[in-house]
Structure 1
Amino acid sequence: MKRILTATALVGMLVPVAAQAEYTFALVPKAMNNPFFDLARDGCYKAQEELADVTCEYIGPGEHTELEQIQIVQDLITKGVDGIAVAPSNAPAMAKVLKAAADAGIPVMTWDSDLLEEDKALRTTYVGTFNYDIGRHLAELVQGRHPDGGTICLQTGGAAAANHNERLLGAREQLAGEKLGDPPGTPLTGQGGWTEISGCPLITNDDGNVAVQGMTDILAANPDLTAFLSTGAFTQWFDNAYRQAAEPYKEKMANGEMTIVVADTLPMQLQQTKDGLGNGLVGQRPFEMGYKAMFILKDIAEGKAVEDPIYTGLDVCSNENIDSCVQ
């Protein structure tokens, strides 16, 4: 008598190897509606393809919500995943949650955004950008176009996001030519020839609509502004909205009267800069962050030593090298 396989049995035979993995590692972004984090997700899934015993669980808030991210990490700890890689939106608040992960013996690492210095013992390592250098390189692009200084507006993500505060400090210290304390540093009041205008820095909470509206309003209210510097790509995520906001200032950007520089090098940002709607980008490597996180968590879970921190590098782009700057 022939054996007849049911549909259920056939499905069971066809389950991909990754679904039978020994390890389930969570990659937690700040928000899942963010094209930057989409690239990290893709890197995570690429690692899953290469590691037969690892499943990448990519999960985070639908939108940038600090409380929701904290709840997701709490749920992952309760669930008992084998490791967590998190990009903290609120570093101090996330540290409180990660104490439970330590108690449960769950390996933890950070990526993109780190914990505060006093809480770093709660994670094994950080993989991502040396965030201070994003701000420093953005400021260098501004200084190259305005060596005598001027007025500037800084735009940032969450007020409690350690990575954005480090970028603000890097930008401010580069422009000032002096140390300005702990992140995010103190607003510029003439140091190095630069003064931050009233109403800045603009806080966006990684919301693209808030970011582009903030830039629109500040440029309209300050027609003689020398530079606008954003520590995140949120300003340029929504291509049509950004183009409409920047188009009135295209001539001023072309002749050197005004400068707009933004962090990251997502495809729409590169094209905007090529079209003269921006003057510089400093790009991170999010795909590499998500990819490496899975390998790092596996090493930690298996008791292997890992470096701390692990930096993924930057690409510095200007109008002059925009066609070749991304490595």
Structure 2
Amino acid sequence: MKKLLTATALLGALAAPAFAESHGGYTFALVPKAMNNPFFDLARDGCYKAQEEIEGVTCEYIGPGEHTELEQIQIVQDLITKGVDGIAVSPSNAPAMAKTLKEAEAAGIPVITWDADLLEDDKGLRAAFVGTNNYDIGVELAKLVQARHPDGGTICLQTGGAAAANHNERLKGARDTLAGEDMGEAPGDMLDGQGGWTEISGCPLITNDDGNVAVQGMTDILAANPDLTAFLSTGAFTQWFDNAYRGAAEPYKDKMASGDLTIVVADTLPMQIAQTKDGLGNGLVGQRPFEMGYLAMQMLKDLKDGGSLQDPTYTGLDVCTNDNIDSCVE
């Protein structure tokens, strides 16, 4: 299946330049970590909206069918070989993607990153980053936990890919905030009593952006640790599959209502809003993926037209609790 997806991606890539060329404009690729992800669906919608509204821009939304680092790298290599006019990529594996983007630099293809960035030493390979201040997501998630548990407790952190720079920055933001001190280079050192917080054995949970893995991981941890104070996830994958998440969280609804347990998750997708309204979560920190997809196209167009970019360009956050869930998302 992975070979088929890569071949399909390559065929789609080969077809796009003729379309863009015939319209006298630019073809810009928006490359997500995975195309089976509702978060990235919103970025896709923003990309296509930009195609409608910005003259001379064609959005080519293309990425792995599932979260597969090697396939994402192959797709970007195919885009470079094809000679697209610009690439906006959310790197699954930042160091590995940087090696591939050196080929884009050699080919004169401008690159921006979105959602996830490159590591600091490699940022010269892209013109700018557009998306969330990922450190701040971790900060805001941790503040939601602290507001409910000012004296600390035990916590399990759940994250995406171990090499995903954005999730590592979120982990560091959460750890620094809970500890009240700098916990070292991202993703930060595990909490061991700092600020009253201790990370339990078996965490952080690595999901590789797989919703099934995320729900099962949360289920197992909550069952094995009945006195857990807080569960903090740096990505919406925990709540993507509505029925599965509801089934996992329902047994703990009373504990969440009483304040004995807190579950907070990144993002504010529609199913997450509904789950929080129903008392199956205590807080969300939402990104704005539609704006990321739209602005990625605008920024690449500005770059091709000789303009300059603001780096980084942040799209803001929406912080939700059980109390403001009806009005927290802009």
Q: Same fold (TM over 0.5)?
A: yes
Deviation string 1:89-148 (CA, Å, 9 cap, x unpaired) is 000000000000000000000000000000000000000000000000000000000000
The reply to whether residue 78 of structure 1 matches residue 70 of structure 2 is no
**CA 1:95–1:17: 2 relative to 1, 3 Å:** closer
**Does structure 2 retain, via aligned residues, the 8 Å contact 1:18–1:54?**
no
For 1:148-183, what per-residue CA distance to the aligned partner results, in whole angstroms no more than 9, with x for missing partners? 000000000000000000000000000000001110
Question: Match of 1:188?
Answer: 191
The question of 1:166 aligning with 2:169 is answered yes
How far apart are the structure 2 equivalents of 1:45 and 1:20?
16
Is the Cα–Cα contact under 8 Å of residues 20 and 27 in structure 2 kept in the other structure?
no
Aligned counterpart in structure 1 of residue 322 of structure 2, from 297, 319, 323: 319
AA aligned opposite 2:206? I
User: Larger Cα Rg: Structure 1 or Structure 2?
Assistant: 1
Provide the residue aligned with 2:47 in structure 1.
Answer: 44
Q: Does 1:116 align with 2:116?
A: no
- Letter in structure 1 aligned against 2:117: D
8 Å Cα contact 1:19/1:55 also seen in 2 = no
1:280-326 Cα shifts (integer Å, max 9, x gaps): 00000000000000010011112211110000000000001000000
Q: Which stretch shows the higher mean deviation, 38-47 or 295-304?
A: 295-304
Contact preservation (8 Å) 2:145, 2:262: yes
Q: Aligned in 2, Cα 1:58/1:19: closer, same or farther, shift over 3 Å?
A: farther
SS at match of 2:310: coil
Partner of 2:295: 292
CA contact (8 A) 1:177 1:191 kept: yes
CA distance in structure 2 between the partners assigned to 1:272 and 1:239 by the alignment: 8
Q: Does 1:130 align with 2:116?
A: no
For 1:122 and 1:296, the matched residues in 2 are separated by: 16
Residue equivalent to 1:218: 221
Alpha-carbon spacing, 1:185–1:63, altered in 2? closer, same or farther (3 Å): same
Helix, strand or coil at the partner of 2:325: coil
Residue in 2 aligned with 1:13? none
Instruction: Within 5 Å, give how 1:241-280 maps onto structure 2.
Output: 241-280=244-283
Tell me, yes or no, if structure 1 residue 53 matches structure 2 residue 56.
Answer: yes
Q: Look up the equivalent residue of 2:53 and give its one-letter code.
A: E
Partner AA of 2:63 in structure 1: G
Matched, 1:232 2:235: yes
Whichever residue aligns with residue 128 of structure 1, its letter is G
Question: What is the aligned partner in structure 2 of residue 11 from structure 1?
Answer: none
RMSD: 1.3
Distance in 1 (alpha carbons) for counterparts of 2:129 and 2:209: 21
Alignment coverage as a number of residue pairs: 313
Match of 1:43, SS state, is helix
Partner SS for 2:320: strand
Could you tell me how far 1:17 is from its partner in structure 2? Answer: 9.2
**Compared with structure 1, are the counterparts of its residues 17 and 185 closer, same or farther at alpha carbon in structure 2 (3 Å cutoff)?**
closer
Please report how far the alpha carbon of residue 52 of structure 1 lies from its aligned counterpart in structure 2 after TM superposition: 2.4
What do residues 57-93 of structure 1 show as CA deviations (whole Å, max 9, x unaligned)? 0000000000000000000000000000000000000
CA contact (8 A) 1:18 1:48 kept: no
The structure 1 segments of at least 4 consecutive aligned residues displaced by more than 3 Å after TM superposition are: 16-19
Which residue number in structure 2 is paired with residue 156 of structure 1?
A: 159
Task: State whether residues 156 and 199 of structure 2, in contact with CA within 8 Å, keep that contact through their aligned partners in structure 1.
Answer: yes
What is residue 69 of structure 2 aligned with on the other side? 66
Cα distance, 1:51 vs structure 2: 1.6
SS in 2 for 1:151: strand
Distance in 2, matches of 1:71 and 1:171, equals 33
Q: Which runs of 5+ in 2 are unaligned?
A: 1-18
Q: CA deviation at 1:22?
A: 1.2
Gaps spanning 5+ residues in structure 1: where? Answer: 1-15
